Amino acid sequence: MCKQILMDMSEKIKDGLSVKKTYIILIFCCISLLSGCMYPKENLKQNAVPYEDQLQAVQKAVNTYKEQNSGLLPIKTRDMNTPIYQKYPIDFQKIAPRYIQEAPGNAYESGGVYQYVLVDVETNPTVKLLDVRMAEQIRDVQLKLQMYRDDHQYPPFKKVIADGVYELDFKKMGYKDVPQVKSPYSGKGLPLVINEKGEIFVDYRMDLYEILQKNGEEMKEGEDIRDMLLKDTPFVPAYSLPYTVKNGEPIFFK
């Protein structure tokens, strides 16, 4: 199938389509194909369940590794500018098979859809999950956005949501329906937003609003409230911007 795509792209180049745009389209197509192969249907359901016993097994392995390695954590090295909830992925090569037999079946390393990460690394390193399917959806949108910008320079902003946060006009990017990602908390579709740097993020305001209403918890304006999403769930709010609260509602803030 990839061979056929290459042949089609060659014809498009002959017809006048730019090499750069053709290259982007090719990347987009191949990623879509690889994503389909990455998660076979017979394994997808099993590998998409966040089993509590698997989380506990990894947590135990992390704790033991830390105790026996002078407080070091079994994590992969990431750039200092990496967003906090993606910054500390667990390196299973450091804990398997000595501290845990192997990476859980739902781990990305085993063909699953979750990346095991750590939060609160300074005081209480805690194992959480990041759904890598979000990354694939965001990457697809980012590629289409780049294709649009090749022709129009600037992103197709629709409206300003907050300072430096914008809603995109997805129809101008070729979408029939507005793309959304599935919330790991509520299961609802969450919208995507863009910042002033042209980076795509997930908008978690709906989930945060539900938690604020449900818990009635008093939060101070100016403090990041994303950790509320961590308390009773195994998931991190991946690919998120900071939020605070104002008049009882979540808002973006810098």
pLDDT for 232 equals 87
Assigned domain for 235 exists: yes
Whole-Å CA distances, 186 to 205, 208, 215, 233: 12, 10, 15, 11
- What pLDDT is stored for residue 46 in this prediction? 54
Q: Domain limits at 15?
A: 2-38
Count of positions (residues) in the chain = 254
Average pLDDT over residues 81-108: 96
Residue owning tokens 């305001």: 205
Q: What is the pLDDT of residue 48?
A: 58
Identify whether residues 67 and 95 lie together within a single domain: yes
Residue 6 vs residue 205, higher pLDDT: 205
**pTM of the prediction?**
0.81
Of 118 and 49, more confident: 118
Out of 83, 102, 124, a domain closes at 124
Q: Please indicate, yes or no, whether residues 16 and 85 belong to a single structural domain of this protein.
A: no
10 Å CB burial of residue 149 (0-12, 13-18, 19+) is middle
Residue 140 placed within a domain:
no
More confident call, 31 vs 237: 237
- The count of structural domains within the chain is 3
Tell whether 30 is covered by a domain: yes
Same domain, 173 and 231: yes
CA distance 183 to 196: 24
Regarding whether 62 and 19 lie in a shared domain, the answer is no
pLDDT at 217 over 80: no
Instruction: Please report whether residue 145 resides in a domain.
Output: no
pLDDT at 174: 94
In a domain, 162, yes or no: yes
Q: Is residue 105 part of a domain?
A: yes
